[in-house]
Structure formats: C-alpha cells, structure tokens
Amino acid sequence: MHALFRGISVIPVLTIERERDAVPLAHALFEGGLSVIEITLRTAAAPGAIAAIMRELPQVTIGAGTVMRAADIAIAVHAGARFLVSPGLTPELASAALATELPYLPGVATPSEVMTARALGICVMKLFPAEALGGTAWLKAMAPVFPGVAFCPTGGIDEASAAEYLALPNVPMVGGSWMAPKDAIAAGDWRRVRRLAERAAAIGRREAA
C-alpha cells in the first residue's frame, strides 16, 4: 500500500456513466498530474471503464470504489483494479478484500470502526463522509487516540478544503471529484479537466513541501 500511494496526495473519485469517457478522462487527469484514480462501482459502465483504462493507460493506477459486497470485489479484481475502497466496513467485506492481497481502504466514521479496522491490521482508512462527520475537527480529535493510523478523507471535499485536510499529520491524501465535473465529462471538455487536475496536483505538492 505504501508503495502504491507514495507521493500521492489527491485521488480523483469518479463515477463514470459512459464507458467511452473513461480513457480520455483518465488521460486528462494523468496529464494534469494525477496518476492514481478511483472509479466507483455505482454504474454499469464502471467495470468496463476500469478495464479500458488498465488496457490503454497502464501508467495510471486504477482502484475500484464503493465496494460493498464480495461480488463487487470479484468484479473489481476481474476488471484489473489495483486497489479497493469501500464506504464502510463489515467483517465479511474486509475478509474478502484482504484475501485479494490488494491494498484496501475501508470506510470508517466512528472510533469503534477505526479500532475494528486496526485489529484487522489496516492502518490506512477512508474517512467517509468526511465533511458531514466533522471534517478536520474529527481528524484532529482522532490523531492522539490512534497514533500510526492514517486517513484518506472523502465526501464533500473540494479544492478549497483539500489543503486544510492535507495539512494534518494523519492525512497523507484526500479523495474528491471536484477536478472532474459532471458537465465537463458530459461535454468531453478534457482541457478543463486537465486544468483542474493540474490545480489539484499543485495542492498536494504545496502541502508536501
């Protein structure tokens, strides 16, 4: 997991409605400096989108998000996903995800869920929905209680708030969709996506410095 996400501060979280958008969208994000992408399994086009990007753009690391059942994990693995992300955590889901030996970010929202994930040997978790749960205040409160645990907040994060999250010592990366607006994808405005990706990547570099 550390090798996969080393140097990564911003992860686009994408819901792709049309499979034909997948490769040009991923290419625009990659050209903008974002090389790790999460595609949520919320649409019928998602598995094909993951497979297409893996085939056409091997330099882009693709993960599957909104993984909620063992069947979702099988679909993600078959499509070629290189990491798994879920909105929550159940024993059955965690067992199936960890059995793949792919990096797995379970969603957590409470201290009890953090403890459950840590007991499974997981030290990097997804905080979801971050803004609704209290955002940076929640993360600051958790830092002294759970040393060594890192969080990737997603849910309600935008360009303005991303830097606030990345400034926290227990937040190495954030996830969001602001750099890939739905209207830009629908219009095939890949230049706009690239510009937004460049700005998002710059946030990560600035915080890393």
Where do the domains of the chain lie? 2-208
Query: Is 38 labeled as catalytic in the residue annotation?
Result: yes
- Does 111 score more than 90 pLDDT? yes
Are 107 and 88 in contact by the 8 Å Cβ rule? The answer is yes
pLDDT of 115 over the 80 cut: yes
Compute the average pLDDT of residues 13-17: 97
Active-site entry in 56, 113, 126, 207: 126
- pTM value is 0.95
Q: Nearest CA to 83 among 69, 67, 70?
A: 67
- Residue 209's pLDDT is 56
- Give me 37's structure tokens: 């992408």
Q: Is the pLDDT of residue 24 over 60?
A: yes
Longest dimension (CA), the chain: 46
Burial of 125 (0-12, 13-18, 19+ CB in 10 A): buried
Catalytic residue among 17, 31, 38, 164: 38
Helices (H), the chain: 2-5, 22-31, 46-56, 70-79, 91-99, 111-119, 130-133, 136-142, 159-166, 182-187, 190-208
The angle, 0 to 180 degrees and rounded to 10, between the axes of the packed helices 190-208 and 22-31 is: 40
Q: Is the pLDDT of residue 205 over 80?
A: no
Out of 3.10.450.50, 3.20.20.70, 3.30.70.330, 3.40.50.970, the CATH code matching 2-208 is 3.20.20.70
pLDDT, residue 74, reads 97
pLDDT in tens, 144-195: 999 999 999 999 999 999 999 999 999 999 999 999 999 999 999 999 999 9
pLDDT-based confidence at residue 11 (cuts at 50, 70, 90): very high
Contact call for residues 111 and 145 (beta carbons, < 8 A): yes
Greater confidence, 208 or 129? 129
> Per residue in 27-86, pLDDT tens?
999 999 999 999 999 999 999 999 999 999 999 999 999 999 999 999 999 999 999 999
Q: Residue 19 catalytic? A: no
Question: Taking each helix axis from N to C terminus, what angle separates 46-56 and 70-79, rounded to the nearest 10 degrees?
Answer: 30
Which is it for strands 124-127 and 107-108: parallel, antiparallel or unpaired? parallel
